Amino acid sequence: MQGEFGPLVEGSSIRYSQKTMSDMNDQEQAISKAAGVVRSARRLAALTGAGISAESGLQTFRGAGGLWEGHRVEEVATPHAFRRDPAFVWRFYNLRRANLAKVAPNPGHQALVHLEERWGADAFTLVTQNVDGLHFAAGSQNVLEIHGTLRRVRCSGCDRTEDRGVEALPDLPRCEACGELLRPDVVWFQESLPPGIWERAERAVSEADCLLVVGTSAVVYPAAGLIDVARWHGATVVEVNSEPTGAAVDVVLRGPAGRLLPELVRRL
Ligand code: BJW
Ligand code: ZN
């Protein structure tokens, strides 16, 4: 059988097509280059998205399987959707909260812990768009959750926040203090990012010599704009993604983060 990219199996020996060989050389060059860039960076930052948690079993937002009951995230994760039908929105979030109890960090998350240990939390900042808490669960400490977290709720009346972990919540949870509806403490479309945290993310990225962009489609702003901020300040941007994105980056590592990040760390 001759696959365009796959190995050609002949009897007991495995030959590779020319296309596969040149892809392997490109990948080898890219990972060596990325390792060199990371090694020589005084300050590092990473921007992660849903793709880094895909190998833990969590769905991404876009691409195959990215719909929830036929709805795009843009239809569910908005203040308008919550006002119109809070039970519908809570169903989406309660399912995702329940999923969190079943998943664990994967080698991609752990590789980023390793980078923080090696560079020190002062010189390595992990900016994540993810709300799943898996970077903290893996052991990363300097993590900026710019889109909030599923583990916290916030009162839509008095703004009080509370950590509820992954405990099961009622279909329509209410605030004990004022009786108004609680909502997940995450950032929906048309909402501002948490002010202090966003400023720290911008600063970390603008001070970094290298930014690793992992598992994000880089279509949601202002998070995706961090890539331009980094480059504008002279950082080299290394993307790790299983699929092409339109992001303007310097080095591309194409493949699963759970394999490529540990490989990158091994080469440092
Ligand atoms: C793997 C892999 C493996 C798979 N290994 N890779 C400028 C231009 C255009 C629009 C705007 C703009 N500025 C603002 C906007 C509007 C809007 C926006 O960006 N819209 C775009 C969709 C066009 N932004 C906002 O509204 C933001 N707020 C804002 O701007 O406030 C200012 C304001 C205030 C007041 C009035 C008006 C404006 C807020 C954005 C909030 C986003 N929130 C969500 C939901 C969070 C809660 C929840 O989880 O439910 O955040 S949306 C969703 O997308 C979530 C994610 O964090 C975010 C990004 O998604 P991500 O992580 O990139 O996931 P995917 O699925 O897109 O990609 C996964 C990737 O992984 C893929 O590339 C795969 O290939 C890859 N992958 N497996 C490696 N194993
Ligand atoms: Zn309240």
Which domains, from first to last, does the chain contain?
31-58+105-147+192-268 (3.40.50.1220), 59-102+153-186 (3.30.1600.10)
Q: Residue 248: its pLDDT value, please? A: 96
- Catalytic machinery residues: 147
Q: Write out pLDDT tens, residues 217-265.
A: 999 999 999 999 999 999 999 999 999 999 999 999 999 999 999 999 9
Phi then psi dihedrals of residue 210, to 5 deg = -145, 135
Q: Is the pLDDT of residue 3 over 50?
A: no
Q: How confident is the model at residue 24 (pLDDT cuts 50, 70, 90)?
A: confident
Rounded Cα distance between 140 and 187, Å, is 21
Does any ligand 1 atom lie closer than 6 A to the CB of residue 129?
yes
Nearest CA to ligand 1 atom 21: 220
Nearest CA to ligand 1 atom 37: 190
Does any ligand 1 atom lie closer than 6 A to the CB of residue 265?
no
